[in-house]
Amino acid sequence: MGKIMPGERFPVLKKKLSPESYCALASIANPKVWAFVADCIQLCQPDETWVSTDSPEDIARSRQEAIRVKEEIPLSIPGHTVHFDGPEDQGRDREVTRYLVPKGEKLSPALNQIEREKGLKEIRELLAGSMKGRTMIVRFLTLGPKNSVFSLPCLECTDSYYVSHSLNLLYRPGYDEFRRLGSQARFFATLHSAGKLNELAVSAEPGKKRIYIDYLTDTVYSVNTQYAGNTVGLKKLALRLTIRRADQEGWLAEHMFLMAVHGPQGRKTYLAGAFPSACGKTSTAMLPGEKILGDDIAYFRPIKGQCRAVNAEAGIFGIIQNVNPVDDPLIWKVLTNPGEIIFSNVLVKDGRPYWLGMGIEPPEDGVNFSGKWFRGKKDAQGKEIPFAHKNARYTVSLKALDNCDEALDQPEGVDLSGIIYGGRDSHAWFPCQQSFDWSHGIVAYGASLETETTFAIIGQEGIQEINLMSIQDFVSIPLGKYVRNNLEFGKKLVRPPLIFAVNYFLRDEDGKFVNGLRDKHIWIKWMERRIHGEMRARRTPTGFIPCFEDLVKLFKEILKKDYTSDDYRKQFSLRVPENLAKLDRVEKFHRQEVEDAPPEIFQILQEQRKRLLEARRLYGDRVTPDSFPVVTE
């Protein structure tokens, strides 16, 4: 029996593909791949379909075509381009991002969902004929390093060269991996169409925007949107599918950065961190003098008793607001020198990009996400349009950074020693603390992570909310099960990573921040020393905090700055009523929003409540840090 070709089973492929693209697809011996591509062609009806093989010419084509069709505009610095999303397409859209849930199943109430058949009908009707007059691009990539237990093959079909160009920078090429795996490839698939475009080459029907996740078939559908968080299927959309895969296979997929922190005698220690958008995630991962391994999505596996970790991605889709040469010298260097970068939703004047908080006065006019812009321009509601969007971004390969860690593509990952949870909390959490053990950290820090909504999500800003482990928007299994998986994961490890919490947004009674912008580096260095048993701590009701004497040394060593006892009291005095109120909110959330919440959650929260009440009985509502005992554990 001869070899079956894709055109024999799916005639549309032979008919609609060029000989080169047909040959490229035929080299992947996977009928499920053929079926998906054929369905996309029949549904979306592109004029032509191009299958990328990741050759240097194909990699270059995405950028060249994005410029030709005006999805990107070249800037004055070689390699730099800018892309604009529409005014109503400037962030992840929670309201129209939904799980397709089969009849008889349901996810946690906190997760947006729609009955599967109804949702499929709606999204496919919106996608029908959406690529007429355009080219469908077929891309093969991997999440995680190639040829690794961590790697997950992915396929995306899109009519956006900007999306394809972004994929080049953000992920590892996967065409050869699909050829190697053949029919064994269990892949995630994404179908995206920007839909109808206006004269600015942006999606013209944002009211018909939909991003639907079908976890039965590991497929994401996205239409009438161009914002990368809604269209680059391997980002948060695939994270939702990866969480289900990890749940089935006993590992963890996390919304976390990965970094390497340098210690004494050339030591390098790997930490992960979960921060909601605009809460200091990238600036922590990019601390001067340290190494970055990833800024967004990490996979953890228990291997020989160790927690091994990899970056699912190979690039950064980073918030550019407040990136400046003083606070972010490494990113600033990349953004202001030749190299392949996509800016999005910044202001452009004379080929130069301007963004909020860059420390340079912007021009009085230019081009931004609203089209031609001038100071004082207003939107349809009469609200003044800023020169750049708060959620403006830059897209760049990690390997373009001087501080990219050498282990980025290491198939076995790195040995993870610490995990950090951080949000926006003006009132309660210390700037830095360490949990008593794995379970306490997962519950009291991770499952209790509270923040304020920011510009990275469409909707009202400044609303206080629980954002469980900074992954709540993406969890496609019951939230209670997700917490339980984290609790159980620690039991598979000989020495689980230590768990820490940070809060860069604590304010004093006058509303002023008690953290300096660079103080985060001290907290990270303290964690590194704690992991290796080199620094003491004070035991408080909510966790271990640094000792004053150690911070004096670290501030002098790292920041060349004097640290005073007044600084220590402001930062590390326990605020009992605020922490009790936080516990109330957290417990209410888990009782109302988390189905099948593990009983350990309420047990650990209750134990913390008792410790807080006892501290108030002994010392009052504000407890200075020197009231707590010093421990060496």
**Where in the sequence numbering do the catalytic residues fall?**
279
- 85: phi then psi, degrees, rounded to nearest 5: -100, 160
- Report the C-alpha gap between 87 and 70 in whole angstroms: 17
Q: Which residues pair with 300 in a beta bridge?
A: 252, 309
Helix, strand, coil tally for the chain in percent (to 5): 35, 25, 40
SS (H, E, C) 159-216: CCHHHHHHHHHHCEECHHHHHHHHHHCCCEEEEEECCCECCCCCECCHHHCEEEEECC
Tokens 């391997």 sit on residue: 234
Which residues have C-beta within 8 Å of that of residue 2, sequence separation ≥ 6?
A: none
Strands 113-115 and 172-173: unpaired
**DSSP track, 581-629:** HHHHHHHHHHHHH-TT--HHHHHHHHHHHHHHHHHHHHH-SEE-GGGSP
Task: Find all residues with CB under 8 Å of 239, minimum gap 6, and list them.
Answer: 253, 255, 297, 312, 471, 474
Question: Could you tell me which residues are beta bridge partners of residue 315?
Answer: 397
> How would you class 324 by CB atoms within 10 Å of its CB: exposed for 0-12, middle for 13-18, buried for 19 or more?
middle
Q: What is the H or E stretch that residue 580 is in?
A: helix 576-593
Give CA–CA dist 261/257, Å, rounded: 13
Q: In which residue are the tokens 């892949």 written?
A: 187
Which neighbouring-strand residues pair with 319?
Answer: 393
Residues with Cβ < 8 Å from 484, sequence gap 6 or more?
598
Q: What is the H or E stretch that residue 80 is in? A: strand 80-83
DSSP 577: H
Q: For residues 111 and 479, what is the distance between their CA atoms, to the nearest angstrom?
A: 9
Residue keyed to tokens 């009231």: 627
Beta strands in 235-288 (DSSP E): 252-254, 257-262, 268-274
Location of structure tokens 């990699």: 59
Cα 437-442-445 angle, rounded to 5 deg: 100
Task: Look at the block and give the residue holding tokens 């009438």.
Answer: 224
Which class for 230: exposed (0-12), middle (13-18), buried (19 or more C-beta within 10 A)? buried
